Amino acid sequence: MSAFNPIEAIATKRDRQVLSGQQIRDFVAGVHDGSVADEQAAAFLMAVFLNGATETETIELTQAMIDSGQRQDLSAIVTEHGWRGLVDKHSTGGVGDKITLILTPLLASFGLAVPQLSGRGLGHTGGTLDKLEAIAGFQTRLSEKQYHEQLATVGGVICAAGSTLAPVDAKLYALRDVTGTVESIPLIAASIMSKKIAEGTDALMLDVKVGSGAFMKELNQATALAERMITIGTAAGVRTEALLTRMDIPLGLAIGNSLEVEESLQVLSGAGPQDVRDLTCALAQPLLEHYGIQHQAAENLDNGQAMKKFEELVAAQGGDLSQDRPLGKHRLEVTASASGTVKHIDALAVGQASWSLGAGRSRKEDPVQFGAGVQLLHQVGAEVSSGQPLAVLYTDTPERLEGASARLEKAFTIGEGPADPKPLILDHLTSGGAAR
């Protein structure tokens, strides 16, 4: 058998031809062991970015990335400890998206095991691990033994992925990040799904966000990404479905790490913003139904069971909810320039304001201010008067307030008459197409 030549694989995609499964597996293996040079990997990524990839190619790429590491088998934990199933959720990221903090303990409170591997924020979208680290003592890095033990006993764990899960994805993503090849549906789908499948879950719910504050700005793009990820998951034996959800306005009222923890605690207590509660339940309900759990998801938000499970999860990972979360030492109110109805709040502008206050990072290695962020005081549809506070900005670096304030003022659209209500959930997709 002739030796693998990465240039042939690059040329195949350059010329808009279809790669064989063996070519893809050999290329990914070469990236992993270093026999494929970074320049060659970058050229391959650009060829895929420009010319796309078929469903079969994307499935092969995902599987090759999984095979670069270990695929966990957590079935014994489910069987031995009486959990009803092994489930997970992934969001493509947005402004004010703290759903993982609520959904993980909610699902666990119904007897489902949730091995939630999460990441950090970059740019204007927040990261789940950053939010949780705003809780005093919370540990996001766990050993494999700790991870398994907590999943077995608590039923939920939220932590960083280990280096053994689809390790080649980290190499490819680093190259995508510096070569302008991030915005590629097959590459995004393979990146997300390789890690989710490798973690060993049986059922996966995707939250694919659409709008100014999301990675996918248009519904057709988001639909294509969701469909591709569902195809990949189904081919790997993972029950996969997706909600397409609005992200042209922020989710909830809190944007920033500590602020979002506080809002999550409100929702876990049966209160909090209705949109956050509604989306959490919409993501949970299909998973409950799949496992024959005859309850409405909202029940365990209202009866305290989800909060109890969150407290168990936090304690298991060293966190102390009794300690106050940090809040920026400097604050500034942004007020309404006119009277009327809040017609729109631009998610991107709010996310950028929070990021500029220190809640986000420009590079993966940058620190974040846990207490920085934006507390909105009104949602779309609220009636406000000129001079009335619309939001409060928090930061430890007061020189950031002026720029963030200018961004936030532009985020609000105030006008006469009622706001035009738009649905939070745009579509629900399964392997058979639209669910409803």
Overall average pLDDT of the 248-276 stretch: 97
Residue 164: per-residue pLDDT:
87
Residue 163: per-residue pLDDT:
80
Residue 421: per-residue pLDDT:
86
pLDDT at 273 over 70: yes
pLDDT at 436 over 60: no
User: How sure is the predictor about 104, in pLDDT bands with cuts at 50, 70 and 90?
Assistant: very high
Domains of the chain in start order, with CATH, are: 1-71+163-194 (1.20.970.10), 75-162+195-322 (3.40.1030.10), 330-415 (3.90.1170.30)
Lookup: tokens for 251 = 């989710």
Residue 140: per-residue pLDDT:
95
Overall average pLDDT of the 129-150 stretch: 95
User: How sure is the predictor about 162, in pLDDT bands with cuts at 50, 70 and 90?
Assistant: confident
User: How sure is the predictor about 177, in pLDDT bands with cuts at 50, 70 and 90?
Assistant: confident
pLDDT at 114 over 80: yes
Mean pLDDT of the chain: 94
User: How sure is the predictor about 414, in pLDDT bands with cuts at 50, 70 and 90?
Assistant: very high
User: How sure is the predictor about 1, in pLDDT bands with cuts at 50, 70 and 90?
Assistant: very low
Tens-place pLDDT, residues 369-397: 999 999 999 999 999 999 999 999 999 99
Overall average pLDDT of the 78-91 stretch: 95
Tens-place pLDDT, residues 15-65: 999 999 999 999 999 999 999 999 999 999 999 999 999 999 999 999 999
**Cα–Cα distance, 269 to 419 (Å, whole number):** 29
pLDDT at 2 over 80: no
High-pLDDT (> 90) share of the chain, %: 88
Overall average pLDDT of the 111-118 stretch: 94
Tens-place pLDDT, residues 391-413: 999 999 999 999 999 999 999 99
Residue 242: per-residue pLDDT:
98
Q: Would you put residue 362 in left (φ > 0), alpha (ψ -120 to 50) or beta?
A: alpha
Enzyme catalytic residues: 90, 169, 176, 191, 195
pLDDT at 154 over 80: yes
Q: Which of 214, 245, 265, 255 is nearest to 379 (CA)?
A: 255
Q: Which of 414, 413, 394, 412 is nearest to 404 (CA)?
A: 394
**Reduced 3-state DSSP string for the chain:** CCCCCHHHHHHHHHCCCCCCHHHHHHHHHHHHHCCCCHHHHHHHHHHHHHHCCCHHHHHHHHHHHHHCCCCCCCHHHHHHHCCCEEEEEEECCCCCCCHHHHHHHHHHHCCEEEEEEECCCECCECCHHHHHCCCCCCCCCCCHHHHHHHHHHCCEEEEECCCCCCHHHHHHHHHHHHHCCCCCHHHHHHHHHHHHHHCCCCEEEEEEEECCCCCECCHHHHHHHHHHHHHHHHHCCCEEEEEEEECCCCCCCEECHHHHHHHHHHHHCCCCCHHHHHHHHHHHHHHHHHCCCCCCCCHHHHCCHHHHHHHHHHHHCCCCCCCCCCCCCEEEEEECCCCEEEEEECHHHHHHHHHHHHHCCCCCCCCCCCCCEEEECCCCCCEECCCCEEEEEEECCHHHHHHHHHHHHHHEEEECCCCCCCCCEEEEEECCEECC
Tens-place pLDDT, residues 91-101: 998 999 999 99
Q: Which long-range contacts (CB under 8 A, 24 or more apart) does 296-305 make?
A: 297/106, 297/110, 300/106, 300/109, 300/110, 301/102, 301/106, 301/267, 301/268, 301/269, 301/270, 301/277, 302/270, 303/270, 304/269, 304/270, 305/109
